[in-house]
Structure 1
């Protein structure tokens, strides 16, 4: 049960980390907005919670002295996968911190078109500018608070990685994988080649169709007659 629970937590962490990675790639682009920053914050917090829960389960399992050799090997593989996932999460969080600092939400946006409208519409324009300033102020407050929180969480993830290495000593190069790298791709390619080869052997070894042989003979005879007729016409001309 502990192993299945760790697998489920690690699978959820992998999906959340992948989602966070794709969201980080859009920071500073045309799709960047406060909604994106809020989604980044929620995804990051979920990934952090899953990382804490997964690390606690794996640490408790690997520090159990009565664990069987096969079970320990499986938990060590999960530990290596978890460590790699944490490294990617930390790198994406650092990238999000750098991009968020370089592209703040409260950056001034200059209007592209100046219509020069004045007069009775000045009151409407004043209310619009007031609402816009309030929105920018709210974005500024969220942006500053989120970047400060992100900076603290980056440090927490780094401390978590160091704490894991101190509590459980599982060098990555000592963990053996169940299959070679790219084994699934190679098995799929070999299966396709074997099926194609089987079909070609079957076609070569299958019985000859008499109707096809007769059609080939007639076609050859017609072709020879056409060639002879062409030669005769050429000589007569």
Structure 2
């Protein structure tokens, strides 16, 4: 049950990390907005929650001395997959921090044209306290706070990776995969080859004499149609 639960959690973490990766790629682009930044925040927090749960279960399983050899090998494979997923998550979080810093949502802009409009202190205060200004300030505060929180979360993920390596020593190069490299590609190629053979078996080999007869018949038919058109024009 513990192994199956770890697999399910790891599958959810893989999907969440992939989703976060695709969201990070849009930061700074035309689709960038506060909604995107909020979605990034929710996605990375969900990924970290899954990571904490997986780390606890895998650590407890691999530190169990009564674990069988086959079970230990399976948990070690899950551990390596989990470590690689965390590395990708940390790299994407650092990329999101760099892009978010380079492309702030609400960068201050200086007016290029002076309209000459001026007012007293009361009018300036009223404009400053308008609903639009308050909303702009709230969004800008979110942008700054989110980047600070992202910096803290990057450190937490890095500490999680270091803590895993200290508690459980599973070198990645010692873990053997259950299938050879490229097995999925070979299986797909084999399936396509079987499909081609089955189609050929259903259709049968090509008869050269029949193909030649069909070609001659088509040529004669085209000549007859051309001749009929010429006779119609002459008449």
Cα deviation code 1:199-225 (max 9, x no counterpart): 436624x9x8xxx86x949959x98xx
Aligned equivalent of 2:228: none
Cα 1:198–1:163 change in 2 (3 A) is: same
Cα 1:29–1:199 change in 2 (3 A) is: closer
Cα deviation code 1:8-47 (max 9, x no counterpart): 1101111111111111111111221211111111111111
Work out the number of aligned pairs and report it. Answer: 213
Residues in 2 aligned to 1:6 and 1:73: alpha-carbon distance in whole angstroms: 14
Gaps of 5+ in 1: 227-237
Residue pairs, 1:11-160, within 5 angstroms: 11-108=11-108, 130-160=130-160
TM-score (norm 1): 0.78
Residues in 2 aligned to 1:154 and 1:100: alpha-carbon distance in whole angstroms: 14
Residues in 1 aligned to 2:142 and 2:32: alpha-carbon distance in whole angstroms: 14
Cα 1:78–1:219 change in 2 (3 A) is: same
Gaps of 5+ in 2: 118-122, 224-235
TM-score (norm 2): 0.78
Larger mean Cα displacement after TM superposition, 31-40 or 41-50: 31-40
Aligned equivalent of 1:163: 163
Aligned equivalent of 1:189: 189
Cα 1:198–1:34 change in 2 (3 A) is: closer
CA-based RMSD: 3.2
Once the two structures are TM-superposed, the CA of residue 138 in structure 1 deviates from its matched residue by: 0.5
Once the two structures are TM-superposed, the CA of residue 178 in structure 1 deviates from its matched residue by: 1.2
